[in-house]
Chains A and B, each alone.
Chain A
Amino acid sequence: DQQVKQNSPSLSVQEGRISILNCDYTNSMFDYFLWYKKYPAEGPTFLISISSIKDKNEDGRFTVFLNKSAKHLSLHIVPSQPGDSAVYFCAAGNSGGYQKVTFGTGTKLQVIP
């Protein structure tokens, strides 16, 4: 049972435009969410997180939006740069649990120069 889903396996965006990556979850016990970026042959790199008491968190070019009623979150990258080309994973966890984080299936973003 995939509790965290990223329904778009891939996404292509022109440089300078907005990239929007989506993530859906089913477990209502999740109360925090994270986005990671992963280049081939490297470990995931933490990008940005959000607690369920917020609906938006912004860090530079990256903004995460959380819609709890829809069990949906999205990552916006503005403006997109070629160096952003990577696989993006969303992840979710419960702060009352034992630090377990469940990863989504990933979206491969390609930013075209």
Chain B
Amino acid sequence: DTEVTQTPKHLVMGMTNKKSLKCEQHMGHRAMYWYKQKAKKPPELMFVYSYEKLSINESVPSRFSPECPNSSLLNLHLHALQPEDSALYLCASSQGPLAGGLRTNEQFFGPGTRLTVL
């Protein structure tokens, strides 16, 4: 299984709602990522989990709360979002920490969740 799955595909929420995005991979990868992508922009890193521990938080507002319940699952909990948070949210996974040399960090992406905040 070489797939990263994300649910839901689309999500519309109000500014007072609480919702969660889910991501799953069964490739045995030990690093998982959340990215945010706005139209005509590159993916922007939000969080990295390595061996189920948060290793990078790119100064993301606290209204976004990541969670990694186990090595296959990654959640992003959303609360009190703003309309400017509307974007495509991408999950990715990769093998894990690199040893240098020939290793490159190929990340495998899911199809994304299109989020609209009203």
Question: Chain A interface (Cβ within 8 Å of chain B)?
Answer: 31-34, 36, 41-46, 49-51, 53, 89, 93, 95-96, 98-106
Contact = CB atoms under 8 A, between A and B. Distances in A.
A26 B54 CA distance: 27
Interface in B41-61: 41-45, 48, 50, 55-56
Nearest to A87: B40
Given A43-B92, A105-B41, A99 B108 contact: no
B33 to A, nearest CB: 8
B48 A100 contact: yes
A33 B96 CA distance: 16
A106 B41 CA distance: 7
B106 interface: yes
Interface of B: 4, 6, 31, 33, 40-45, 48, 50, 55-56, 88, 90, 92, 94, 96-112, 114
A103 B56 contact: no
Given A44-B43, A105-B41, A93 B100 contact: no
Nearest to B112: A43
A43 B90 contact: yes
Given A32-B105, A100-B56, A105-B41, A42 B98 contact: no
Given A43-B92, A93-B105, A95-B103, A103 B48 contact: no
A104 to B, nearest CB: 6
Nearest to B4: A43
Nearest to B9: A41
B16 to A, nearest CB: 28
Contacts of B99: 95
A51 B101 contact: yes
Nearest to B10: A41
Contact of B56 (A41, A44, A98, A102): A98
A46 B106 contact: yes
Nearest to B102: A51
Contacts of A100: 45, 48, 56
A70 to B, nearest CB: 20
